[in-house]
Structure formats: C-alpha cells, structure tokens
C-alpha cells in the first residue's frame, strides 16, 4: 500500500513555486536575488544564535560537573566584541546592499541590461505602454502600435518596455510579480516603470492595493511573445474592428467587475494624456490648461504666492516622460536655493539675543485687555 504522505508530497512542493521566486524578467530576477542575499545575511546571525542558545543550555545544565560556575562573572571584552561586531557588520552589509539596489532598480531609471551578460542597446528606444487602472480592470494603451487592450498585456521578450502608469479614480498598484516590482497608480499623476520579459509564456498581473468591491478580480494576463508572435498579436488586435473613442472610454470607465479581455483596433492619440489631466469628458478643462490660465493671471514668480497670483511659473501637470522631480538630497549644494529666515523681534521665542523672551521659550502671557478664561467660559454658558 502506498503511503498517502508521499503521494501528497508533489502537491506540496508544487505550491512552493511562487511568482516572486520564479521570475521571467531581469528586474524581477534581481529583486529575487536581493531577497535571497538579504535572507542569507540575516541568517548569518540568526542561525548561530539559535545553535548557541541550545548549546549553552545543554552545557551549563545543572547536572554537568565539567561546566565552570562563576557567580561573580559580569564582563568579558572578547565576548562583547563578538556580540556587537557581528550584528554591526551584517547591518552595514544590508545597508550597502539596500542603498545600491534602491538606485539600480529605480523604476524611473532605464535598464542597464536586458538580461545577465546582455547590456541594453542605447540606440534602441524602449517600447511604450500606457497603463490606466480603472474600477476594476486594467486598460493598456500601445501608442506606437495604435491599439489598446483590457486585462491583457502582451510584450515582446528581450525588449525593454517603459510603462507610464496612472489611475482614473482610485489609488491602485500595478504589479506583475514575474516581471518587476509594484508601482503605484494614482489619479492625476503619472508613474513610470522600466522592465523587460525574458521568457515566453503566460503569467498573471494584479492590483496589489485594495480599491473597493471588485479588487479581488482586478487581474490581467501577461503574455510574453517572441517578436514574430508579438507582431501577429498586434495584427489580430487591429483586425478586431473595435475602436475606443471618448464615448466608449467613458462607458468603460464605469465600475465593473470580472471584465473579460478585450482588444481595440484604434484609439485616440492623446487619450492617456487626458486621463492623467482628468479631462476626458467633453467640456472638462485639463490641468495644464488651468495652470496656464493661472500663470497668465499673474503667476510667474516662484516666491509670489499671493491670493490670485496664479501658479508659479515652470510648474506643469506632470514631469516629462522618464523623469521625476528631484529633491534636495539629489541636488548639489550649489543647486539648492537658500531660504532666508528673518527674525521677528516682537514675538516670544524669537532667536534675538537681546530679546528677554528668548531666555524663556515656554513663557506665554495673556494679551492685555483679553478677558479672563473663567469670565469667557461664564459668558459662553
């Protein structure tokens, strides 16, 4: 008679094959290797501690006459060095690994390589795919091919792809675990993700951010094809005969669940831009038009924030494709505009040496002529 445990073992092992640990793209592969490296570094201290804990408990047991008993023991320099240096070195290694990986795997950053041993060709422009998270489905726009799909994302293998990502109504997360990490999709904003698929096959993508009733079924099919297969797929989409004008998009934008995959043979050229700027519906002004109107109404100086002065000159609804605003930490000291802080001598707590209130920062005195608290409370009663 066969052992039922042995029969169930293959099923248990099959469940261990998860998408994150079985990547089909180089970015996902590097992220998986980062998980492995981080886990190994942490186990360098966890495993010895577990082993030594059991060893010490066994060696210093009550019945072991060979163990040294020293009730006055309170310090060992060599033991302190081992206890503190080993975790410190591991933390330094983890910090260096995290810092370098954060920059190398930045989703806004174009890829340096297509796969291990194959650098990216700087002369080949990444293929552009525009992603729109809807309630509760995914719209993929291929502007270079002039087509669009619902809940179906087909990509050529070994070809760098740049995803421009936004959302119509709800904050969401675009996640294809076999290809790359998670990137947020937010209304009125555009995120960017650079990734590549290296293995032909059919995979699953999903939303990783709860967004309402249909969230559980907000999934899409990710298909990796060779260049010939991708060209045939595009031809099939163009042969579908279904277009996506503004009226059809507005109907598609309405909340719906478990939407089957669809293909559209034609799209409006600036549909994604109008989705980002929230002006798809006719008669709705785009954010860039509103900002341009504000600038023409008096904006222009970055320091002029008076009411009615308009938006500061140079601000736009979204950064150029492939770029993002840089914070002060990413700028050289000469690029940071200094902000002049002028002291106000008349207020308590100002940093003016000759001001008496500077000596007592917590001193608060009621204004002259102000009613007493008890009197004000009685008046309110």
The better pLDDT of the pair 346, 224 is held by: 224
- Alpha helices (runs of H) in the chain, residue ranges in sequence order: 4-14, 26-59, 77-104, 227-238, 246-253, 271-276, 287-296, 373-380
Enter the pTM of the model.
Answer: 0.72
| Selection from 133, 129, 126 nearest residue 142 by Cα | 129
Question: pLDDT at position 303, please?
Answer: 47
Judged against a pLDDT cut of 90, whether residue 340 lies above it is answered with: no
| Selection from 202, 200, 203 nearest residue 228 by Cα | 200
For the chain, how many helices (H) and strands (E)?
8, 15
Q: Picking from 219-233, 239-253, 340-354, which range would have the lowest pLDDT averaged per residue?
A: 340-354
Judged against a pLDDT cut of 70, whether residue 339 lies above it is answered with: no
Question: pLDDT at position 58, please?
Answer: 93
Judged against a pLDDT cut of 90, whether residue 370 lies above it is answered with: no
Judged against a pLDDT cut of 80, whether residue 260 lies above it is answered with: yes
Q: Which residue has the tokens 């094959």?
A: 17
Question: pLDDT at position 337, please?
Answer: 60
Q: What interhelical angle do 26-59 and 77-104 show, nearest 10?
A: 170
Of the pLDDT bands very low, low, confident and very high (cuts 50, 70, 90), residue 309 is very low
Gyration radius from the chain CA atoms: 31
Judged against a pLDDT cut of 50, whether residue 44 lies above it is answered with: yes
Going from N- to C-terminal start, the domains of the chain cover 17-63+77-104, 118-276
Fold of 118-276: Immunoglobulin-like (2.60.40)
Calculate the CA dihedral of residues 32, 35, 38, 44 and round it to 10 degrees.
-100
Question: pLDDT at position 158, please?
Answer: 95
């Amino acid at each position: 008679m066969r052992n039922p445990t042995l029969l169930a073992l293959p099923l248990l092992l099959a469940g261990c094959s998860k998408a994150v640990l079985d990547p089909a793209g180089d970015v996902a592969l590097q992220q998986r290797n980062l998980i492995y490296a981080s886990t190994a570094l942490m186990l360098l201290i966890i495993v010895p501690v577990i082993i030594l804990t059991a060893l010490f408990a066994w060696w210093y047991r009550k019945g072991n006459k060979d163990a040294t008993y020293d009730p006055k023991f309170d310090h060992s320099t060599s033991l302190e060095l081992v206890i503190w240096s080993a975790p410190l070195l591991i933390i330094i290694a983890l910090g260096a690994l995290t810092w370098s990986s954060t920059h190398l795997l930045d989703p806004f950053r174009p890829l340096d390589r297509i796969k291990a041993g194959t650098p990216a060709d700087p002369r080949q422009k990444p293929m552009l795919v525009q992603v729109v998270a809807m309630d509760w489905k995914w719209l993929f726009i291929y502007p270079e091919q002039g087509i669009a799909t619902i809940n179906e994302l087909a990509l050529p293998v070994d070809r760098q792809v740049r995803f421009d990502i936004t959302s119509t109504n709800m904050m969401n997360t675009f996640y294809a675990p076999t290809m790359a990490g998670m990137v947020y999709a937010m209304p009125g904003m555009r995120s960017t993700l650079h990734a590549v698929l290296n293995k032909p096959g059919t995979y699953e993508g999903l939303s990783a951010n709860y967004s309402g009733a249909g969230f559980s079924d907000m999934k899409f099919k990710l298909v990796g094809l060779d260049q010939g297969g991708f060209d045939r797929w595009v031809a099939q989409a163009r042969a579908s005969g279904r277009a996506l004008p503004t009226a059809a998009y507005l109907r598609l934008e309405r909340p719906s669940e478990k939407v089957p995959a669809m293909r559209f043979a034609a799209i409006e050229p600036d549909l994604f831009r109008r989705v980002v700027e929230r002006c798809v519906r006719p008669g709705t002004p785009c954010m860039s038009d509103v900002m341009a109107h504000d600038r023409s109404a008096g904006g222009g100086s970055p320091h002029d924030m008076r009411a009615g002065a308009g938006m500061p000159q140079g601000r736009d609804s979204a950064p150029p494709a492939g770029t993002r605003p840089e914070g002060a930490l990413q700028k050289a000291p000469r690029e940071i505009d200094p902000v002049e802080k002028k002291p106000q001598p008349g207020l308590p707590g100002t940093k003016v040496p000759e001001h008496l209130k500077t000596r007592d920062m917590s001193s608060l005195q009621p204004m002259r002529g102000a009613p007493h608290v008890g009197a004000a409370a009685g008046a309110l009663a």
